Amino acid sequence: MSTTQQPQHSVGVKLTPQATDQVRRFIEQEAVPVNTAGLRIAVLPGGCSGFKYGLNIEEQPLADDIVMDEGGLRVFVDTFSAQYLDGVTIDYVSGLHGSGFTFDNPNASGGCGCGSSFNV
């Protein structure tokens, strides 16, 4: 039985160098297999504006994930989330009020003060 690989699709998600470095640190801390592990970026129903972002370190992609390379980092996106993530830039910021990931989504028509919730 031969296996054929599905053509790779892409989503216009960008991670800043600061975000990429922080994700690499999380992957090291999670002790997951570096050759298959990556960052899952998801859009989930909920949040104060209708949708919220989800970030998670996973050992490997799911069969129907879009797998991308972003600055040498594997990124996994499911097909539902892909439609909302095109053009999104993810950054990691640190300041007096704490640190965390931020999302700049040109497709969002609104959001709220938390920065991780949006609507389209």
Encode pLDDT of 76-105 as tens digits: 999 999 988 989 999 999 888 788 998 988
Domain ranges within the chain, ordered by starting residue: 14-107
* Residue 51, pLDDT score: 84
| The pLDDT of residue 7 | 43
Which pLDDT belongs to residue 119? Answer: 46
71: region left, alpha or beta (phi > 0 left; psi from -120 to 50 alpha): left
pLDDT of residue 79: 93
pLDDT at position 91 is 95
What is the pLDDT at residue 111? 53
Q: What is the pLDDT of residue 49?
A: 63
| Spans of the chain below 50 pLDDT | 1-8, 114-120
Residue 23's pLDDT is 95
CATH for 14-107 is 2.60.300.12
DSSP string computed for 37-77: -EEEEEEEE-STTSEEEEEEEESS--TT-EEEEETTEEEEE
